[in-house]
Amino acid sequence: MGLRKAEAVSPAVGIALIALAAVALPLVTRDSYYLDVATTILMNLTLTMSFRLQVSTGQINMAHISFMGIGAYASALLVTRLGWSFWATLWIGALVAALLAVPIGSVALRVSGPYYFLITFAFSEVVRLFFNNFFEGLFGGPSGLVGIPKPGRLLGLTFDGKLALYWLMAVLCVVVVVALVRLDYSRFGLTAGAIRQADLVVETLGVNVFRFKLTTFVLGSFVAGLAGVFFAHYRQVLHSSDFGLEPMVLLVVFTVIGGTGSVWGPVVGTILMTIASELLRELHHYEILVFGAVLILTMLFAPEGLVALPGAARRLVRKVRGRASEPAGVGLAP
């Protein structure tokens, strides 16, 4: 039995809708542009879902994108330098991200609030500069790491076309969504939300809040690493700026616009914003200006994100109706 009765969508229905949409898309169109957009949505969704997992405890991890980068570079190097198979490095890259998350999370999670924000931001810059300036022969320096091969063959299937890669990302994304939704609707999600509301109280009720936050940090980093590995072999070229401040800000915007209070927030935010980002492509770097404006408007008029709007509208309608049916002049509306 779920612990989160307050949610409007049942987890099974939500997951089924996402899976259905993922399966239906290639039936509707096989245009490579649309497949590319859809693959990007799924990749972004994997990232925003894992980011939301950490935000659900009240921590904004500004280094989340760096763990995507760590997974991406780890796999790209293992495949290009050592000739390992993508199917192994997919998991190894994610594991490397998760393993590095243990010491980094252990340090960063000693503080909270703005200090945590700053520490993780500083770390993300360190990682970006490291990829950009150190071991140029290895990471490719400012010109990037190029020549990363596509995933290749598995079980008699060849993963190099747009459609095959779309399916691969769809499977990864749906697995991640199922896992994170299940967690959110369990005691784990309940505890995460309680920590966000009053972490000291949770701690005095027997939950090791530090260990809990570290668990979400490491798990989130694992998933980000997974998305990073896919990214590396999908784009076939990596630049340090792929994991810099701008994509990190977009990741925050996508997640926050959908709403972080619900596990479905990142889904709504990511789908809408990835499509918007495609429509705004011609604006180039000004795109982020538009996103900034959208973020401000969301914070002003729907601070709990787009996903909370239907509930807010329902409450408003009920309030208006309730007021209309009240006899005039009797009492004050609550």
Partner 1 sequence: MLLELSSVTRRFGGLLAVVDLSMTIEPGSIHGLIGPNGAGKSTVFNLITGVVPLTAGEILFKRERISGLRPSEICRRGVARTFQATALFREYTVLQNVLIGAHLLAAPGLAPALFRSRSYRERERRARRRGRALLESLGLGAVANQVAAQLPHRDQKALALAMALATGAELVILDEPLAGLTAQERAKTIAVLRRLREQGTTVLLVEHDMKAVMGVCDTVTVLDHGVRIAEGTPREIQANPAVIEAYLGAEEPGA
User: Residue 55: exposed, middle, or buried by beta-carbon count in 10 A (0-12, 13-18, 19+)?
Assistant: buried
Residue number, 200 or 324, with CB nearest to partner 1: 200
Q: Which of 83, 156, 206, 329 binds partner 1 (CB under 8 A)?
A: 206
CB of 185 to partner 1, least distance (A): 9
Q: Which of 199, 216, 215, 218 is nearest to 207 (CA)?
A: 199
- 32 touches partner 1 by CB under 8 A: no
Segment near partner 1 (CB under 8 A); pick from 68-76, 78-86, 197-205, 318-326: 197-205
DSSP code per residue over 179-233: HHHHHHTSHHHHHHHHHHH-HHHHHHTT--HHHHHHHHHHHHHHHHHHHHHHHHH
Kindly tell me which residue out of 134, 142, 208, 289 binds partner 1, with binding defined by CB under 8 A. 208
Query: Going by C-beta distance under 8 Å and a sequence separation of 6 or more, which residues neighbour residue 310?
Result: 8
If one asks whether residue 188 binds partner 1 (CB under 8 A), the answer comes out as: yes
Cβ(222)–Cβ(94) under 8 Å? yes
* 250 DSSP β-pair partners: none
Q: Does 197 bind partner 1 (CB under 8 A)?
A: yes
Terminal C-alpha separation, the chain: 34
From the list 13-21, 62-70, 82-90, 199-207, the region that binds partner 1 by CB under 8 A is 199-207
Query: Looking only at residues 212 through 251 of this chain, which bind partner 1 when binding is defined by CB under 8 A?
Result: 215, 219
Give how many residues touch partner 1 by CB under 8 A.
30
264 binds partner 1 (CB under 8 A): no
Helix (H, G, I), strand (E, B) or coil at 83: coil
- Judge whether 116 and 109 are in contact, CB under 8 Å: yes
Indicate which single residue of 84, 112, 150, 203 sits in contact with partner 1 (rule: CB under 8 A). Answer: 203
Is residue 191 a contact point for partner 1 (CB under 8 A)? yes
Binding site residues, partner 1, CB under 8 A: 1, 3, 5-6, 179, 182-183, 186-191, 193-194, 197-198, 200-210, 215, 219
